[in-house]
Each structure stands twice: as C-alpha cells, then as structure tokens.
Amino acid sequence: MHFSNVANVFVLPALAQAAALTRVSNYGGTASSKTEMWVYKPDNVKANPALVVVIHSCQSTAQQYFANSKIPWHQGSDAGGYITVWPTSPNSGTCWDVSSSKSLKRDGGGDSTAIANMIKYAIPQYNINATRVYVTGGSSGAMMGNVLAATYPDLIKAVSVYSGVAAGCFVGQGVAQWNNACSGGTSTNTQAGWAKIAEDMYPGYNGTRPKMQIWHGSADSTIAPQNYQEELKQWTGVFGVTMTASESKFNTPEASYTTSNYGPNVQGIYGQGVGHSVPSHLKVSEAWFSLP
Ligand SMILES: *[C@@H]1O[C@H](CO)[C@@H](O)[C@H](O)[C@H]1NC(C)=O
Ligand SMILES: *[C@@H]1O[C@H](CO)[C@@H](O)[C@H](O)[C@H]1NC(C)=O
C-alpha cells in the first residue's frame, strides 16, 4: 500500500498554488533607477485591497526582508488580505538612494521615482483601492519612506518608518551616499527649515499628505536618536502643528515605548533602550494604516 504517495499527489498541487513573493520585471515608467519590483499577493485577497510598500534596509533585498521574522508584513498580508510590494535597491550595498538630486525630487528618475512607478503599476494591475496605499520601511528603507512622503504625497495615505532620518538629511553629491553628519545626529534644522526641504521636493503641491508614524530607539548607535527629533520637526512643520505633543502615552504600545501624538497626522513612538533598527510592530503600523 502506498497511501503516503497517494496523499502527496494531492498535497503537491496545493503547495504549488500557494502565494509567493514574485518579481515583476516590467513595471513601466521612465526612471533610470533599476530598482527591482517584487509583489506578494496572498491567497485570499480582499476586493479592492489596500497596498503596503515594504522597503528593506541596507544589505538586504526584497526576498531577505520578506523572509525576516522581525518584519512580519508577509504575515500581515496573509491575515489582512492586502497586497505588499517589496522593492530591491539597485545600489552597491543595497542602501537606498536618499542622497542624490535624482531621488530627492519628484520625477527625478531615481529610486524614489522607481518606487512611485511600482505604486502606479500596482493600482490598476491588482485592483488596489488608490486611497489605501501605505509605505513602511526600516533604516535605509525608513529614510526612503520619508523621501517618498515628500516626493509623492499624492500617492500615499500613511507612512510608518522605523529608525530613519528626515527627508533630505542624507543629501550628498552622488547616489546612495552615506552621510556621517546626518547619521551622527548633527544635521539639525528648525521645523520651518525641515518643512521647506520636504516641500521643495515637490514644489507647489497643495493636496493632502500622508500621515507620518515615526519610530526610533534611544540606544540606536547607527542612526543617532537625534534624528527622531529632526523627523518629527519636519512633519510637524509640514502639517503646521507644534512640537509639543498633544498627547503622550507611556509604556505604549509596550513597556519602555512612549507614543506621542502631534495632532492627527504625526505620531512618534520612541523606544527607551531600543537599538537599531526598531523591529516592525505590525499591529501598531497596521492600525496607523487603518488595516486590515
Ligand atoms: C476605498 O477606501 C476608502 C477608504 O477606506 C473607502 O471609503 C472606499 O469605499 C474604498 N473603495 C472601494 C471601491 O472599496
Ligand atoms: C493647488 O494646485 C493646483 C495644481 O497645481 C492648482 O490648480 C490649484 O489652484 C491649487 N489650489 C490652491 C488652493 O492653491
């Protein structure tokens, strides 16, 4: 008797159909950046699903980030029936270009434009509800999340970034350059100064902007914690609210974290004693995105 073999006949086709992270070779647009697009469509996609773009850190890729247990957006996608897009950086060391003028302006053709092109491709292709497009990322991916919020505010409803820097803080002469002053926390500015840097990436834009949720750890020795303050200054400046929190909740969402609201559109979550990068808090980021 070969019952085990018989069972395999039925099991194998089911496995072959299971959702998997898949490369989209031609997502269109005219960016010179060769950023790769990967997409994950869970088995049970909701009608008019939401889209979350999940942006990896340096020395990672779409596939590695997708498989990283500290970045559980793949599981969130399965449970919530929404689509996730995972870009892979084309740059040496796979840091994102958050330094060159190509990426730090709308339609400059750099990595930010390439990721915007993925969003534009995904909306009709996967029948995405265009008012429910969200961006998250860690470290270099968080820096790119801030840059996307400044360059493509019209495409994105909300952003949740872990351990990044303000848009424009990593500015440099070339593509994907490291910026020691910014990473060290000495590139500081006023609210108005940071707001202008963000607004100048898409001059004249007067539409709605994504809500910003900013995470950082006090023990971050890669991207100095001062960058948490600089990011909050940037987005409170853009939204025209003060840097005095309208509400602060201690030990929220867990022990040693403080959640501070600056009106409805800016939220900071600071982890005391937490290093680089703050792990994804899926449920808290999903709630910021009104997911699922
Ligand atoms: C798209 O999302 C918005 C906001 O959640 C919702 O009000 C609207 O009904 C959705 N549209 C469709 C077609 O599902
Ligand atoms: C906002 O920008 C659009 C397009 O640039 C322009 O047509 C419109 O008049 C602007 N609205 C306001 C209130 O400035």
Q: Where are the domains of the chain?
A: 9-288
pLDDT at 32 over 60: yes
C-beta of 206 in contact with ligand 2 (< 6 A)? yes
Contact 93, 176 (CB under 8 A): yes
Contact 143, 182 (CB under 8 A): no
Backbone angles phi, psi at 147, to 5 degrees: -65, -40
C-beta of 204 in contact with ligand 2 (< 6 A)? yes
CATH superfamily label, 9-288 = Alpha/Beta hydrolase fold, catalytic domain (3.40.50.1820)
Active site residue ranges: 139
pTM of full prediction above 0.85: yes
Distance 264 CA to ligand 1 centre (A): 20
Q: How confident is the model at residue 18 (pLDDT cuts 50, 70, 90)?
A: confident
Rounded to whole angstroms, the Cα distance separating 88 from 115 reads 10
C-beta of 48 in contact with ligand 1 (< 6 A)? yes
First to last CA, the chain: 47
**Nearest partner of 165 among 175, 181, 174, 53, judged by Cα:** 181
The 10s digit of each residue's pLDDT in 45-99 is 999 999 999 999 999 999 999 999 999 999 999 999 999 999 999 999 999 999 9
User: Across the chain, where does the E strand assignment appear?
Assistant: 22-24, 36-40, 51-55, 83-88, 133-138, 158-162, 211-217, 247-249, 257-261, 266-271
pLDDT at 204 over 80: yes
Distance 276 CA to ligand 1 centre (A): 36
The 10s digit of each residue's pLDDT in 261-281 is 999 999 999 999 999 999 999
Going by alpha carbons, the residue nearest to atom 1 of ligand 2 is 206
**Peptide linkage before 49 cis (omega within 30 of 0):** no
Which ligand neighbours the alpha carbon of 205 most closely? 2
Q: What is the per-residue pLDDT for 17?
A: 61
Distance 148 CA to ligand 2 centre (A): 21
Backbone angles phi, psi at 22, to 5 degrees: -130, 140
